[in-house]
Each structure stands twice: as C-alpha cells, then as structure tokens.
Amino acid sequence: MVKLWSRFVDLMITLILWAYFTLGFVVFFLPFYLVAYLFSDDKEIAFQRLNHLFYKGFFVIAGILIPRHSWQVDKKTGEIRSAIIVCNHVSYLDPLIMISLFARHKTIVKTSFFYMPIFGWFLKTSGYLPASADEKFGHLLIEHIDNMKDYLAQGGNLFIFPEGTRSRDGSLGSFNKGAFKIARLCRARINILRISNSDKLFPPGKFIFNTGISNKIKVEFIGDIEPDYLNNPLSAADLENLVRQSFVGTK
C-alpha cells in the first residue's frame, strides 16, 4: 500500500509539473513572449531572459512540491560571464537547470527540434544553435558561430554538454570537439560545471519524477580554463584534455 501511494504521489506531482510546461506557459508566459517578439529591440536577449524565468519558476515549484530533493548550487556559477560553459549530462533536466541559472545564455540543441512547429520557432528566436549544419539550418549555425565572439564579449554564455547525450550510469562519456573549437575560434575562457544527482529526480528512460527519496542535486564549479591564445595557442584536443582532467581530478 505504501509503495502504491508513493507511485500515486509521483504521478500527481509529475502531472502538476508538466501542467506548468503547458497550461502555465500559455497562461502566464506566452503573452510576454509575444510582447517581446513584437516590441523588443533585441528579441534574442528578451527570449533568453524569459526562458530563464520560465525554467527558474519550474524549479521553484519543484522545490516546493518535492522537498526531499534539496539543491546546492555553487555561488561561483552566478559570477560566470562571457564564457563557454562545459558541463556533464546525466538527466533531461540538466539543460533546464542551466537555463534557470543563466539569464544570458545560448546552447546547442538537437537539429531535429528546430523542425518542430512553434518549438522550433522559439529555439531560433532564442538564438540557440542547431547541432548539425544540414541544408535548412546550416546558415543558422554559421551565423551564430560568426557572431559568438561578440555575444560572449557582451556578457553572454554558451553552455554545452560535450558528451552530446545523457550518461546512463553517471560516468563521463567521450567528448565532441565542437565546444573546444568554438572556444578557440572566439578565444574564450572555459568554465567547467558538474551536475550531480539530477538523474535521481528524473531517471533516464522514465516519464515520472522520483519524488519519494532523499537526494541532493548539486551544481559544482570545478574548473576555469583561460588559455593564452596569443602566445600559447592550444588545439581543440588540448582543451578537451584539460577539461576531462578537471572532471577526473575532482571526483
């Protein structure tokens, strides 16, 4: 009976949180997006800030409904500006966590999502980058990369999950070099974050939140790489190795 009740609570909380994504978005946030699109001087920045507020609201509600899952966010994350942020990836919640932490942000999104009605429009207007340069969105990727140096210089951040997909067991997977190539191109510093235990709240392969266990979700600042690109230029492989060493050295 206790187990059945626990599953029922998990289901109810899951439905409430997903209702926030649907009904809550339409009622409370969509009007602001429309105003921003019609009247904002910089639609991209306006959409990024609205995305930030929307997902921040999601985690506020989750914290109230799921008190057994506590949060610990390193204070240094709030100081990150003008950086390529590299992070591990253990749950579908991780991108939402990152958006909730940074008002000025861009990220790389699976290209197929850009083809989705409405959602694809939100991604493009928010200035997010498609993961691949296919025929339809190749120009969009090139345009954003060309403008990335200026975006970073103005205080924006680009966060990337170099593993590309979620880890099923929490171990660190192989890296794609895209993040490090962009860092070299923009001569940007790299900040390294690690997210822990978000997969215990929303396990991979499941739809329902796991609300009944005691858990602490952490966002840790574990490294800061600021290469001397002028006098000692590093290759993308060099940057990748430095980032991986930071993850391994702070287990």
pLDDT score, position 41: 96
- Is residue 126 within 8 Å of 44, Cβ to Cβ? yes
For the domain spanning 2-249, the CATH number is 3.40.1130
Task: Supply the pLDDT for residue 158.
Answer: 98
- What is residue 25's predicted lDDT score, i.e. its pLDDT? 95
What pLDDT was estimated at residue 129?
96
Does residue 69 sit in helix, strand or coil? Answer: strand
| pLDDT at 251 (0 to 100) | 64
What pTM did the predictor assign? 0.95
- Averaged in consecutive runs of 10 residues, what is the pLDDT profile of the chain (251 residues)? 86 97 95 97 97 98 97 96 96 97 97 94 97 85 94 97 83 89 95 97 92 97 93 91 88 64
Domain ranges of the chain: 2-249
Q: Which residues of 108-127 are buried (b: 16+ CB within 10 A; e: fewer)?
A: bbebeebeeeeebebbbbbb
Q: Which amino acid is at 55?
A: Y
